[in-house]
């Protein structure tokens, strides 16, 4: 009974797809013709090297080709550089019982003692085969000392020994080892090659699956045939022999949601209102915004390839291709590149308010000015005008939180003349010329450099307000989730300076408590010292958005209705210059 059970378990193990469908000849290998043809010619002509180095991504056939080469050089009757697979030696290799092929995992046998043991054993003659073949996988994991101990044997091994080294990271291998091997670089498999192999497996295993599903599996496997075969076997185990496209999408975490294309269309047309609504609709339906973001990036990449006349690289139907060409007819390449960069590098690890990062990315993308948008409705145009207008009098709070790269911070010192307001004239006077930002002071794409008044001196509130965006940008990448800048950008602003204490006004308890955590507060204070040149401390308070806190009013400047009105319009630090009875 135990013997029968052992046979059953062995049979189950042999049915793993990537082992069952492992190639047995060089001709069976998919997508590595530049390697297989060279090795076939070497075996045919008898010019087999003593050491080979196979480099490339996982699942591209490095170990499989190493085993085929070991079998071929020991085959009793090779045919045109290929093993016959019928002689006793070939059968022992195929069954895994050949003792003259030794596979070593360098990740667990990496030290100098392991290499010394290896160099001692290579001098023993093969037991039955012509050559003793050592296949060392992940050879870059061997330590420097172990590599040095292995060098002499690798350079001048006994005539009956062949070394085949495999690695996914050749940059970590000593140059002295690289120079002693014939190197072959394996390529990622194309989607068509992976689909062809999967289709062959499905026909042999009686699996019914649409071609669109195989295309999706191939795309997710990113050129690794082993990963694709494992995914196919997982689908077979879960859904049986009849597999449908929605089932594949569910297994792979793909949404298959039409709103991905819809949202991408709003990016192209710069339809701010509709895009924000779509993002919130997706979030409210419980879909993973990180996966949605990946699909948007892939879709925008396809659009970029079509725009650059590389449409043969895009795997879509003819109707979809025509639809995509129409969508980008009036879109510039620069705008597509900018959109891909913004969505591709966006940080979507903020779980509590998961839609906020994508909203900020979308707004920043649509606010760029290098692409003429498709005409939209008057209501949407009003929304876009309120957000994109660069004049100070039309700069609301949410525009400052999602400010485009090229937009300059408005002046922080506006004066109010109540008498002028009573006469029907403008109540706001122009700020002093010295408070305006210098032209070209912070061009797009350059790091902000703050010109401090005096080294180590204290700055006033106006100075902090004028340079707050530059400070926020400098916080990018800080924090345990590397999104501390997102908290500060959307949740607070400087509202007062008390000596060497900067008062930050927060709109919500969540953000205030987060920044008050000592480990994050320390990061903010450290960056303040770096940017503003003084060891400022931070005090966090709650405030109502758009209104000034009591700390901002002096004794001779009570809370004036005109000042309050100016604050609600988004103006920074307005003050009364004269008041008449």
For every one of its 581 residues, what pLDDT tens digit does the chain have, with 9 covering 90 and above? 344 444 434 444 456 888 888 999 999 999 899 999 999 999 999 899 999 999 999 899 999 999 999 999 999 888 888 999 889 899 998 888 888 899 998 888 888 898 999 988 998 888 888 999 999 999 999 999 999 989 988 988 899 999 999 999 999 999 999 999 999 999 988 888 999 999 999 999 999 999 888 988 988 888 899 999 999 999 998 888 899 888 888 787 666 567 888 899 999 988 888 999 988 888 887 777 888 888 889 889 889 988 887 777 787 777 788 888 888 888 888 899 999 998 888 777 665 456 888 888 889 888 865 544 444 444 444 433 443 343 333 333 443 443 443 333 333 334 444 444 444 444 444 444 444 344 334 444 444 445 444 444 567 888 888 888 888 888 887 876 667 777 787 778 888 888 888 898 887 777 788 888 887 888 888 888 888 888 889 999 888 755 544 444 444 444 556 656 565 555 556 666 655 54
CATH number of the domain that 283 lies in? 1.20.272
Residues 218, 81 within the same domain: no
Place of tokens 């590149």: 337
Q: Does 422 share its domain with 526?
A: yes
Specify the pTM: 0.55
Task: Please tell me the predicted confidence (pLDDT) of residue 429.
Answer: 43
Look at residues 388, 408, 435 and tell me which one is the last residue of a structural domain.
388
Per DSSP, 367 falls in state T
Identify which of 408, 404, 521, 502 has the alpha carbon closest to the alpha carbon of residue 462.
502
199 and 59 share one domain: no
CA 2 to chain centre: 50
33 to 45, 165, 178, 442, 552: CA distances (angstroms): 18, 19, 22, 53, 73
Number of domains in the chain: 4
Residue that terminates a domain, selected from 252, 274, 304? 252
Q: Would you list the DSSP string of 454-492?
A: STT----HHHHHHTHHHHHHHTTT-STTS-HHHHHHHHE
pLDDT at residue 293, as a whole number: 86
| C-alpha distance from residue 66 to each of 33, 108, 165, 258 (Å) | 14, 20, 8, 45
- Is 296 in the same domain as 432? no
Count Cβ atoms below 10 Å from residue 366 Cβ, excluding itself: 25
Instruction: For residue 531, give its domain range.
Output: 416-576
CA distance 48 to 66: 13
Q: Please give the pLDDT value at position 203.
A: 92
Residue 151 sits in a domain of what CATH number? 3.40.50.300
Instruction: Indicate if 196 and 147 belong to the same structural domain.
Output: no
In angstroms, the Cα distances linking 185 to 34, 119, 166, 169, 171 are: 9, 26, 10, 11, 12
- Do residue 287 and residue 329 come from a single domain? yes
Residues 272 and 304 in one domain: yes
CA angle, 275 then 281 then 282, to 5°: 95
Instruction: Please say whether the beta carbons of 468 and 494 come within 8 A.
Output: yes
Same domain for 515 and 455: yes
Q: What is the separation, in whole angstroms, between the first and last Cα of the chain?
A: 108
Q: Do 316 and 383 belong to one domain?
A: yes
CA–CA separation, 228 and 216 (whole Å): 10
Give residue 360's pLDDT: 87
Same domain? For 277 and 234 the reply is no
Look at residue 535 in the predicted model and tell me its pLDDT: 87
CB 493 within 8 A of CB 504: yes
**360 shares a domain with 264:** yes
Cα separation, 10 vs 380, whole angstroms: 66
Distance separating alpha carbons of residues 409 and 209, to the nearest angstrom: 56
Annotate 335-349 with b (16+ C-beta within 10 A) or e (fewer). bbebbbebbeebebe
Q: Are 55 and 186 within 8 A, CB to CB?
A: yes
Last residue of a domain, one of 127, 157, 185: 185
Asked if the structure places residue 407 within a domain, the reply is: no
3-state secondary structure of 412: coil
pLDDT at 282: 83
Q: Does 402 map to a domain?
A: no
| 238 in the same domain as 310 | no
- Which helix (H) or strand (E) covers residue 567, if one does? helix 561-568
The CATH number of residue 218's host domain is 1.10.8.60
């Amino acid at each position: 009974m135990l013997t029968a059970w052992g046979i059953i378990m062995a049979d189950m193990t042999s049915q793993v797809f990537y082992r069952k469908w492992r190639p047995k000849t060089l001709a069976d290998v998919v997508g590595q013709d530049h390697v297989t043809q060279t090795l076939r010619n070497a075996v045919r002509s008898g010019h087999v090297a003593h050491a080979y180095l196979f480099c490339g991504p996982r699942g591209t056939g490095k170990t499989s080709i190493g085993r085929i080469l070991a079998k071929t050089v020991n085959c009793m009757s090779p045919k045109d550089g290929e093993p016959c697979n019928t002689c006793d030696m070939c059968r022992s290799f195929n069954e895994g019982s050949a003792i003259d092929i030794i596979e070593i995992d360098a990740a667990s046998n990496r030290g100098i003692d392991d290499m010394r043991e290896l160099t001692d054993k290579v001098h023993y003659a093969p037991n039955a085969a012509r050559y003793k073949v050592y296949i060392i996988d992940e050879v870059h994991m061997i330590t420097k000392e172990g590599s040095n101990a292995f060098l002499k044997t690798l350079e001048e091994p006994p005539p009956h020994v062949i070394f085949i080294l495999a690695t996914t990271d050749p940059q970590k291998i000593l140059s002295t080892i690289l120079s002693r091997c014939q190197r072959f670089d394996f390529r990622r498999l194309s989607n068509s090659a992976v689909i062809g192999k999967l289709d062959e497996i499905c026909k042999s295993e009686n699996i019914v699956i649409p071609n669109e599903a195989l295309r999706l599996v191939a795309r997710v496997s990113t050129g690794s045939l082993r990963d694709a075969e494992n995914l196919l076997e997982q689908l077979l185990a879960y859904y049986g022999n009849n597999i449908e496209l929605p089932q594949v999408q569910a297994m792979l975490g793909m949404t298959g949601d039409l709103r991905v294309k819809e949202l991408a269309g709003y990016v192209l047309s710069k339809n701010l209102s509709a895009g924000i609504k779509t993002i919130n609709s997706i979030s409210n339906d419980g879909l993973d915004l990180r996966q949605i973001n990946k699909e948007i990036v892939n879709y925008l990449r396809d659009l970029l390839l079509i725009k650059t006349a590389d449409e043969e690289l895009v795997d879509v139907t003819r109707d979809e291709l025509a639809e995509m060409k129409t969508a980008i007819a009036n879109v510039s390449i620069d705008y597509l590149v900018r959109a891909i960069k913004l969505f591709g590098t966006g940080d979507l690890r903020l779980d509590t308010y998961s839609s906020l990062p994508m909203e900020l990315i979308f707004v920043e993308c649509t606010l760029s000015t290098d692409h003429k948008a498709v005409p939209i409705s008057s209501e949407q145009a009003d929304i876009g005008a309120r957000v994109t207008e660069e004049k100070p009098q039309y700069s609301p709070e949410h525009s400052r939180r999602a400010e485009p790269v090229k937009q300059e911070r408005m002046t922080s010192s506006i004066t109010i003349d109540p008498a002028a307001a009573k006469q029907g004239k403008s109540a706001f006077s122009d700020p002093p010329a010295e408070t305006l930002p210098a032209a070209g002071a912070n061009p797009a794409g350059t790091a902000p450099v703050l010109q401090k008044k005096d080294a180590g001196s204290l700055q006033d509130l106006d100075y902090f307000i004028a340079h707050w965006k530059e400070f926020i940008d400098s916080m990018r990448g800080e924090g345990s989730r590397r999104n501390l800048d997102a908290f500060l950008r959307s949740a607070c602003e400087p509202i007062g300076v008390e000596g060497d204490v900067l008062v930050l006004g927060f709109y919500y308890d969540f953000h205030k408590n987060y920044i008050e955590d000592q480990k994050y507060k320390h990061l903010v204070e450290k960056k303040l010292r770096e940017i503003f040149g003084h060891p400022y401390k931070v005090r966090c308070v709650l405030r109502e958005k758009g209104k000034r806190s009591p700390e901002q009013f002096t004794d001779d400047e009570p809370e004036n209705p005109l000042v309050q009105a100016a604050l609600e319009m988004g103006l920074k630090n307005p003050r009364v210059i004269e008041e008449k009875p």
